[in-house]
Amino acid sequence: MAPVLLGFGLLLGLYILLYYNCIKGPKCRAQTSLRGKTVVITGGNTGLGKMTALDLARRRARVILACRDRARGESAVYDIRRESGNNEVLFMSLDLASLDSVRAFAETFLRSEPRLDILINNAGGVGAGGRKDGFNLIFQVNHLGHFLLTHLLLHRLERSAPSRVVIVASSAHQNGQIDFETLQQPVEGTLQDFQAYCNSKLANILHARELANRLEGTDVTCYAVHPGLVNTELFRFLPIWLRPLFVLISWLFFRDPTNGAQTSVYCATQEGIEMYSGRYFVDCWVQDPWPQARDDAVARKLWEVSEKMVGLAA
């Protein structure tokens, strides 16, 4: 029995060291108040987005949860108001799988809100299939919808400057590739879904890079962030046979949403990082993404192709 207990103790000790040094990640230390500031966060009704919204609400920001599901969005509003003591938390309907919904959200927001200080493009999806717009659903939700949303709100961000755009990307971009011939095509199957997800996360980083170039000389800055491996509902689309194994692995080795939100909060609130506009942040610090995410020519072409896809260019 003693050797078993000793072995268990050693394993537990190693896990604790691993958790606090590698898994948990650093905490955002910025004490910035956001009183008088307005934040829009997509997918703020659950997981990573909800914890990001809660942190910003505690900083006294006016926080708008831009979510697809009204019931879950309004429930999240209730939770965040109660936990933060901030009643300036609101739900607004946004379905990134529909470009019409993105336009309707932007129209409603611009009509009702006089300023926008922080836009956090957080929502993400891994589900397969297509919608009425005819694009790869993963690529549309993770990139195209956010691309259009950012464009439609950009003037308000400029008018409210200094302001920021935070784009939640992923280390999965390392497996991504931008093939302009197949970029928008729907895919089927778990492996194809994963590849589409990686491609969309690469697109997120390239979007931030090109957006920063186009915003040079303004007081609007943007940042792409990797939140770490986070245990959220993003993987609810996994095949049933994979879920039991994934639940165990994610419980042991993934961050919880509060820890995963720290880099998004950092890029939204930390003073003095404006010089890093367009860069990629991991664990509350700037890092170089993989080479394909630093290709300015591809970033520029992706911008132009995205404009055509969402109807901003002929």
Has residue 195 got a pLDDT over 60?
yes
pLDDT reading at 4 higher than 70: no
Neighbouring CB atoms inside 10 A of 128's CB total 17
Statement: residue 18 has pLDDT above 70: no
* Residue 197 falls in the annotated catalytic set: yes
| pLDDT at 35 exceeding the cut of 70 | yes
How far is Cα 60 from Cα 81, in angstroms, rounded to an integer?
Answer: 11
What does the alpha-carbon distance between residue 213 and residue 277 come to, in Å, rounded to a whole number?
9
Task: Return the DSSP state at 174.
Answer: G
Query: How far does Cα 277 stand from its chain's mean position?
Result: 16
> What is the spatial distance between Cα 285 and Cα 277, in angstroms, rounded to a whole number?
12
CATH at 152: 3.40.50.720
Instruction: Check residue 147 and give its pLDDT.
Output: 98
Q: Which residue has the higher pLDDT, 192 or 106?
A: 106
pLDDT at 193: 85
> Cβ neighbours of residue 122 under 8 Å, at least 6 residues apart?
41, 42, 43, 44, 48, 49, 52, 166, 168, 264
Is residue 66 in some structural domain? yes
The structural domain count of the chain equals: 1
Of 15, 78, 197, 276, the catalytic one is 197
pLDDT at 21: 47
With respect to residue 8, please indicate whether it lies within any of the assigned structural domains: no
pLDDT exceeds 90 at position 165: yes
pTM for the structure as a whole: 0.90
Give me the mean pLDDT over the 171-185 stretch. 89
pLDDT at 65 over 70: yes
- Judge whether 16 lies within some domain: no
pLDDT band at 19 (very low <50, low <70, confident <90, very high): very low
For the chain, give the mean pLDDT: 88
> Residue 89 pLDDT more than 50?
yes
Residue 13 lies in a domain: no
**pLDDT at position 125, please?**
74
Q: What is the pLDDT of residues 271-312, one digit of tens each?
A: 999 999 999 999 999 999 999 999 999 999 999 999 999 999
Residue 297 included in any domain: yes
The predicted model gives 33-55 an average pLDDT of 96
What's the mean pLDDT in 96-117? 97
pLDDT value, residue 255: 80
Burial class of residue 255, CB neighbours in 10 A (0-12, 13-18, 19+): buried
Side chain identity at residue 286, one-letter code: V
Structural domain for 208, as ranges? 27-309
Place 168 in a pLDDT band, splitting at 50, 70 and 90.
Answer: very high
Residues contacting residue 218 through CB under 8 Å, at least 6 positions apart:
158, 161
- Residue 93 in contact with residue 68, Cβ under 8 Å? yes
Q: How confident is the model at residue 23 (pLDDT cuts 50, 70, 90)?
A: low
Q: Is residue 56 part of a domain?
A: yes
In a domain, 19, yes or no: no
Contact 256, 230 (CB under 8 A): yes
Which is it for strands 62-67 and 89-93: parallel, antiparallel or unpaired? parallel
- The helix (H) or strand (E) run that includes residue 165 is strand 163-168
78 is a domain residue? yes
Lay out the sheet containing 163-168: strands in order across. Answer: 89-93, 62-67, 38-42, 118-121, 163-168, 220-226, 280-282, 285-287
